[in-house]
Amino acid sequence: MELDERKIKILQAIIQTYLDTGEPVGSRTISRYSGLNLSSATIRNEMSDLEELGYILQPHTSAGRIPSDKGYRLYVNQLMEEKAEKEEQASLQNGFLIERVDRLELLLKQLAKILAVNTNYATMITGPQGHHNKLKFIQLSKLSDYKLLVVIVVEGNIIKNVMIDIQEELSDEAILNLNILLNSSLNGLTIEEINLARITKLKEDAGNYSGIISSVLDEVAKAFTSDEDLQVYTSGTTNIFKYPELSDGQIASELISTLEEKQVLANLMNDPADSEKKDGIQVYIGHETSIQTMKDCSVVTTTYELGEGIHGTIGVIGPKRMDYNKVVSTLKTLVLQLDAIFKKT
């Protein structure tokens, strides 16, 4: 049995109707679908074939049909392309109001919120992987006679503040010299480039203050490699309650718990599952994700880049009947706007 043009049109009508209503779709509804001009009997036969082929399923006896994961996959891969192109053009003309901010985490939180408002789904954005970034600035400041505040700024204005203990009091001149030494030696380097030879030379130049240099370098290494660098910013979590299939008590509870686990979300955003990728967009439908609690969801992701070495992943989570056209065009628009903003500077 083949998936001919008529079956494809009926499948598209079923999917589009279900996306709009969230209710199982019957043959009578499809018979009234614009442009099909088929009898209910013909549509019932075609729907039976589509069910046998695995593109739709019947959730309850005597109920209408809903798309299966296989049906959604076909829709995402082929059926929505023409419509997506039209919607993308319209979306590109509208754009978003993105405010340029100095702190990367503030920008990512802003983007997550913009996406949640514009799509009406839950959204998540991962921060950049620290070990790819470069060190921009180190500032030592005296907190007390035996404590220093170390401010470490990494590319993308990722800022780490930490206190270190020192064994002797430092004059303002000594702190100034250490700041000059650290910044002239390390600025613009990645963690891989801060090698043993550089560290040895730095300690030699610091003389009696080599112990302080060691403590500062330990904190620099943590700023690049610590698990604390793993940041996932979410927004619109409560949007899932707007969709009946996700608002069931247990399903909703499990989803919210998942959205609070940053390591789980980070793994999801970098999931190597066999899903189709087109124009930088990755779509995971139902069981295509590795997370069992998201089997009733779809996740659409793309990557962003804010400069050399500053990149991460943006994701939208919603029901399997999400508006894929809108989500895809929204993500593309957002990425293009970020490129326009950050490539100017």
Question: pLDDT, tens digit, for every residue of 280-294?
Answer: 888 999 988 878 888
Same domain, 105 and 172: no
- Indicate the pTM of the whole model: 0.70
Same domain, 87 and 108: yes
- The H-or-E segment that residue 124 falls in is strand 122-126
Q: What is the mean pLDDT of residues 5-33?
A: 88
User: Are 75 and 15 contacting, i.e. CB atoms less than 8 angstroms apart?
Assistant: yes
Q: Is residue 36 over pLDDT 80?
A: no
Q: Is residue 271 over pLDDT 70?
A: no
Same domain, 163 and 288: no
Question: pLDDT, tens digit, for every residue of 317-345?
Answer: 999 999 998 899 899 888 888 877 776 54
pLDDT at residue number 92: 47
pLDDT at residue number 104: 73
Average confidence score pLDDT of the chain: 82
pLDDT at residue number 173: 93
Q: Is residue 73 over pLDDT 70?
A: yes
User: How far is 316 from 112, CA to CA, in rounded Å?
Assistant: 9
Same domain, 21 and 63: yes
Q: Give 129's pLDDT tier (boundaries 50, 70, 90).
A: low
Domain CATH code at residue 107: 3.30.450.40
Q: What angle do CA 318, 83, 36 make, to 5 degrees?
A: 105
For residue 101, give its domain range: 81-127+230-342
Q: Is residue 40 over pLDDT 60?
A: yes
Domain final residue, candidates 210, 228, 246: 228
CA dihedral 69, 74, 80, 85 (to 10 degrees): 120
Question: pLDDT, tens digit, for every residue of 149-177?
Answer: 999 888 766 788 889 998 888 899 999 99
Q: What angle do CA 109, 233, 295 make, to 5 degrees?
A: 135
Same domain, 121 and 88: yes
Domain count, the chain: 3
- Higher pLDDT among residues 62 and 20, named by residue: 20
Same domain, 198 and 337: no
Same domain, 137 and 150: yes
